[in-house]
């Protein structure tokens, strides 16, 4: 009587090997990720952090009118991002307990209010940014002029500081990026060394970050941005699209242009009281921009 052949585990694995060898995983490695993504991959740890997320709803009727007036009278390309950056800076100036950073296990306060505005370049294939120094003291027109000029240089790849930083980053292999960024953080923040001669801008990111998807028709009602650990920035504000929605105005319900700001805080530095006070100043400045933004 013919006995059926048996397949041992080893033989079974061998029998499947040709089929397995022919399979291709349903994903491919990104060969040229953006510099921002490389930094994130090299420095972020698994989710175990003190991040707090929140939103601020702002009626932008008066702010949009101001933007149109400045564009018409001054010929200046003023955007919502410019107003948000200025309003956030005022919030930090009014409530200085929120203007600082964490180095190691210690908290530090900043002397100036500097805002880092993230900028998409190369048709959205890369992300970098511009830091505006002492922005709380700048008139809105000056903020728009400076940021527009730097953004034009950056997108034309003529911003020397940013290009040097990108070149330095490109020379670091992926496996070394995490240790390298931790070393840079230690040298610049813990030891206070200026590494700009090596293409590393000193204290590159300032008090807070502002990023925007307002010009992108992505269909997102709300987006929130994560903290960026190597930046030592405890606040990130994301500018979403302005949408016409019902809003309570006095005793009426009216259709208004509403802006939702996605706010991310490091709870180690920003507690609930300080965060709420900064948010209140920010919202008031955007709702009534003629009071403080111009």
- Largest pairwise CA distance in the chain: 101
- Give the span between the Cα atoms of 17 and 28, in whole angstroms: 22
Domain of 124: which CATH number? 3.30.559.10
The alpha carbon torsion through 178, 184, 190, 193 (nearest 10 deg) reads 180
Non-local CB neighbours of 217 within 8 Å, separated by 6+ positions: 241
* Residue 4 within any structural domain of the chain: no
**C-alpha radius of gyration, the chain, whole number:** 24
- What is the per-residue pLDDT across 91-130, written as a single tens digit (0 to 9) for each? 999 999 899 988 877 888 899 999 999 987 776 677 788 9
* Residue 28 within any structural domain of the chain: no
- Per the structure, the complete domain to which residue 114 belongs is given by 52-288
pLDDT > 70 fraction of the chain, expressed in percent and rounded: 82
- What is the per-residue pLDDT across 33-61, written as a single tens digit (0 to 9) for each? 667 667 776 776 655 677 899 999 999 99
- What is the per-residue pLDDT across 202-238, written as a single tens digit (0 to 9) for each? 888 999 999 998 766 666 668 899 998 888 899 999 9
pLDDT band at 30 (very low <50, low <70, confident <90, very high): low
- State residue 82's pLDDT score: 97
- State residue 27's pLDDT score: 45
Number of domains in the chain: 1
The alpha carbon torsion through 197, 186, 37, 240 (nearest 10 deg) reads -100
* Residue 32 within any structural domain of the chain: no
* Residue 122 within any structural domain of the chain: yes
Query: In the sheet that 51-59 helps form, which strands lie side by side, from edge to edge?
Result: 51-59, 252-266, 235-249, 208-212, 115-121, 126-132
pTM equals 0.81
* Residue 45 within any structural domain of the chain: no
Non-local CB neighbours of 62 within 8 Å, separated by 6+ positions: 287, 288, 289, 290
* Residue 23 within any structural domain of the chain: no
């Amino acid at each position: 009587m013919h006995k059926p052949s048996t397949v041992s585990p080893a033989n079974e694995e061998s029998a499947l090997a040709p089929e397995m060898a022919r399979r291709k995983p349903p994903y491919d490695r990104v060969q040229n990720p953006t510099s921002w993504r490389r930094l994130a991959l090299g420095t972020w740890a698994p989710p175990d952090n003190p991040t707090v997320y929140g939103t601020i709803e702002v009626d932008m009727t008066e702010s949009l009118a101001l933007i149109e007036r400045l564009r018409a009278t001054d010929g200046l390309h003023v955007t919502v991002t410019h107003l948000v950056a200025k309003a956030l800076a005022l919030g930090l100036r009014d409530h200085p307990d929120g203007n600082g950073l964490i180095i190691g296990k210690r908290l530090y306060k900043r002397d100036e209010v500097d805002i880092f505005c993230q900028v998409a370049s190369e048709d959205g294939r890369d992300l970098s940014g511009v830091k505006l120094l002492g922005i709380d003291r700048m008139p809105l027109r000056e903020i728009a002029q400076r940021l527009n000029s730097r953004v034009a240089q950056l997108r034309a790849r003529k911003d020397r500081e940013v290009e040097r930083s990108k070149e330095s980053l490109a020379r670091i292999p992926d496996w070394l990026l995490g240790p390298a960024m931790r070393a840079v953080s230690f040298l610049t923040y813990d030891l206070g060394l200026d590494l700009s001669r090596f293409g590393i801008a000193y204290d590159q990111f300032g008090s807070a970050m502002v990023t925007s998807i307002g010009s992108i028709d992505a269909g997102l009602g709300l987006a929130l941005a994560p903290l960026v650990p190597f930046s030592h920035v405890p606040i990130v504000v994301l500018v979403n699209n302005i949408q016409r929605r019902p809003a309570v105005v006095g005793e009426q319900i009216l259709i208004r242009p509403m802006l939702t700001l996605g706010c991310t805080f490091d709870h180690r530095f920003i507690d609930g009281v300080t965060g709420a006070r900064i948010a209140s100043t920010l919202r008031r400045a955007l709702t009534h921009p003629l009071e403080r933004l111009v």
